[in-house]
Structure 1
């Protein structure tokens, strides 16, 4: 009974990190998963992890409350940077929708409750299925497990104001938009050529109403190009998952001071 009493504070810290990690992590943080299941899964995963890490003996005091806040920030930061990377798929879909003319026809994503572009939601669904098919969710869980090698429980402060951390976050933003541009450039480039052709037709054949012909033509071309480049897009999504794991590890190393 005494051993349980002395180990409970350390277990609570593990539970705080894992539960806050699930609050922002892709696939595990969606509203379609009941809150009771999230809490239960976080509890049992924390219970397993607690016996595999070298947890110190802690007492509940002011220092311990600071550790609780630090653990919550660690979990939120790691899950948020993973969500930032995978959101590049929806950004690419937004680029494509804007050129197709679907920008006004957003749909409500039942997983997050936010509005998302049509093509972005379509690509995002396929990306989540690919993530499950390649066991990427196992790698995400490995991320929170191995975070204790970089950021131990007894570490008091997080260097959030460090210039290296800020520069790393800026590079993550840049990487996200680069991947989104790479995914959308086949469709966006094709639609640019279609717009160019329609402009030439409007000048040479003034009797033709390009506004009536242009929208269905751009939609048709977009779907044809999407079918042709879908395999290449999924290859980019696979590289996106690989980048997400490396970026999570890099952020954990910076937060741990290594």
Structure 2
């Protein structure tokens, strides 16, 4: 039985597996710490088997270039997943801006998913966005994207990581993330700014009123009401954010493929 195994295809399978593992380490939803590492490795292995029998795989010899190809596959998977993670972090950035205006910036908690300080509103919006991503089968779109990356980025060819277009795409995606975060937070931040102006006017006209005691609860109440009323708009923005994330991943894979 062992003599019937074609060991010449093992190097190509290893290249596929390395890209998948690196991708699931950084991509949103699959890279969360509450997803077991054994699941990530096992899922990557079985998905690599499916891709292995689906794509046109080349015969890759094991030589000095092969180790460079392994490094290239790891960098490709990490880069695609990390770019998607950067784009989706616009939700947390928007939540941080809202928390700063609400007065919740001092109450940042440790997010068990990322093991880092996360704003309360950002964590709330990020949880809803994750549920929305699962409800529209966004996780399947991520898997579909990494599957078609093998058609755009061949296994036996190197990637021009030093290309100026790749650097420009990453910087443009990073700046676009902040722009989307600003657009998501500006309705609430603007309304809370007007609340601050109104509280300042009241403090000048009624000096006996302690605005430092009355102001924060009023801002928090108004922020929760506005957040509830604008939740439908936020879901529309989140949908556009997911579309932009998938388009950015595709553009990066096209540039990696040398197109």
TM range (shorter): over 0.9
2:145 aligned with 1:139, yes or no? no
CA distance in 2, matches of 1:10, 1:61: 13
Choose from 5, 8, 17 the match for 1:6: 8
Partner of 1:168: 169
1:230 positional shift: 0.4
TM-score for the superposition, normalised by structure 1:
0.97
2:197 aligned with 1:196, yes or no? yes
Instruction: List per-residue Cα deviations over 1:2-40 (Å, max 9, x = no partner).
Output: 652000000000000000000001010111111111110
Choose from 112, 115, 118 the match for 1:113: 115
Partner of 1:59: 61
Choose from 86, 89, 97 the match for 1:87: 89
2:74 aligned with 1:72, yes or no? yes
Choose from 48, 51, 54 the match for 1:49: 51
Partner of 2:229: 228
Give the match's secondary structure for 1:115. strand
CA distance in 2, matches of 1:257, 1:144: 17
Number of paired residues? 257
Partner of 2:212: 211
Give the match's secondary structure for 1:58. coil
Give the match's secondary structure for 2:28. coil
Partner of 1:104: 106
1:160 positional shift: 2.2
TM-score for the superposition, normalised by structure 2:
0.97
Instruction: In structure 1, list runs of 5 or more residues that go unmatched.
Output: none
CA distance in 2, matches of 1:72, 1:87: 22
Instruction: In structure 2, list runs of 5 or more residues that go unmatched.
Output: none
CA distance in 2, matches of 1:163, 1:62: 27
Instruction: List per-residue Cα deviations over 1:187-227 (Å, max 9, x = no partner).
Output: 10110000111111122222211111111111001000000
Instruction: List per-residue Cα deviations over 1:27-60 (Å, max 9, x = no partner).
Output: 1011111111111000000110011111111121
1:174 positional shift: 1.6
Moved over 6 A (4+): none
Q: Aligned ranges for residues 121-132 of structure 1 at < 5 Å?
A: 121-132=123-134
CA distance in 1, matches of 2:6, 2:138: 34
Give the match's secondary structure for 1:104. helix
RMSD: 1.0
